[in-house]
């Protein structure tokens, strides 16, 4: 499926991605990374019902070419595209000084919060009204079919950036109209159009690409996000600059 057949959001997302040559790609069962001559981007490796075709990925020689696969319903390929997009958008940004757990606890203690995705850090908050929606829900979580019912009654919705990869993002945004929205996680692109909406962004960028790849090879999973190979980003700090 060509990118022009998806939506204007996806077309706009990749419109300004440059034709920088891709120098390397790498992945494990949780993350994928794409490196250009000067920057590196990464994203969550989203599960897919289709097979990963590495030869197809390696045929994409520039960030622009690979970024077009963000429209693919092969989520492995779309994950690499998201990493290519983040390679461009998430660079040269100020490091975040905001701890998201503290921010939520201080500002949303008495608010109804819906989380699209089960984030481990949310267990550290004191928010009792949290409702978690997951594709494969565990105990005390809700299936994704509950979105239409829970979102309309919430004050704040937390959405994983991986929803851009699996194509549920726009539906969730439409359901969350007039709600506060936080787009969070390593797959979040710091894209200007998102800045101008009612969405707050909390994401990451790679600070040390060599060390990041070494940690990926160790298959550390989520522990990689707390390493000094990455730095946290947030749109609140960037807007204040």
Domains delineated in the chain? 3-89 (3.30.390.100), 100-204+228-240 (3.40.50.11590)
Instruction: With beta carbons less than 8 A apart as the criterion, state whether 199 and 181 touch.
Output: yes
Please tell me the distance from the alpha carbon of residue 22 to that of residue 62, in angstroms, as a whole number. Answer: 5
pLDDT digits (tens, 9 = 90+) for 73-125: 999 999 999 999 999 999 988 889 888 888 888 888 888 999 998 887 776 56
Please indicate, yes or no, whether the overall pTM of this predicted structure exceeds 0.85.
Answer: yes
Q: Residue 141 in contact with residue 118, Cβ under 8 Å?
A: yes
Higher pLDDT, 228 or 129: 228
Please state, in angstroms and rounded to a whole number, the distance separating the CA atoms of residues 129 and 196. Answer: 28
Q: Enumerate the H helices of the chain as residue ranges.
A: 8-15, 54-58, 63-67, 75-89, 100-107, 147-150, 162-166, 169-175, 192-195, 209-217, 235-240
Q: What local confidence, expressed as pLDDT, does residue 10 receive?
A: 95
pLDDT attached to residue 110: 84
Are the CB atoms for 189 and 216 separated by under 8 Å? Answer: no
């Amino acid at each position: 499926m060509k990118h022009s057949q998806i939506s204007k959001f996806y077309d706009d997302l990749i419109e300004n991605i440059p034709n920088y040559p891709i120098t390397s790609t790498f992945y494990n069962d949780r993350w994928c990374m794409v490196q250009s001559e000067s920057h590196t981007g990464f994203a969550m490796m989203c599960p897919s019902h289709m097979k990963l075709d590495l030869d197809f990925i390696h045929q994409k020689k520039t960030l622009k070419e690979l970024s077009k696969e963000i429209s693919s319903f092969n989520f492995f390929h779309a994950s690499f595209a998201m990493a290519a997009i983040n390679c461009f958008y998430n660079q040269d940004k100020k490091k975040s000084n905001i701890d998201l757990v503290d921010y939520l606890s201080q500002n949303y203690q008495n608010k109804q919060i819906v989380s699209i995705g089960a984030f481990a850090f949310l267990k550290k908050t004191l928010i009792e009204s949290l409702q978690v929606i997951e594709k494969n829900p565990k105990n005390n979580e809700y299936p994704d079919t509950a979105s239409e019912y829970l979102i309309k009654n919430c004050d704040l919705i937390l959405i994983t950036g991986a929803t851009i990869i699996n194509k549920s993002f726009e539906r969730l945004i439409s359901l969350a109209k007039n709600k506060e929205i936080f787009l969070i996680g390593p797959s979040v692109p710091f894209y200007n159009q998102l800045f101008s909406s009612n969405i707050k962004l909390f994401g990451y960028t790679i600070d040390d690409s060599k060390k990041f790849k070494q940690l990926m090879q160790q298959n550390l999973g989520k522990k990689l996000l707390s390493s000094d190979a990455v730095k946290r980003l947030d749109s609140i700090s960037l807007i204040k600059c």
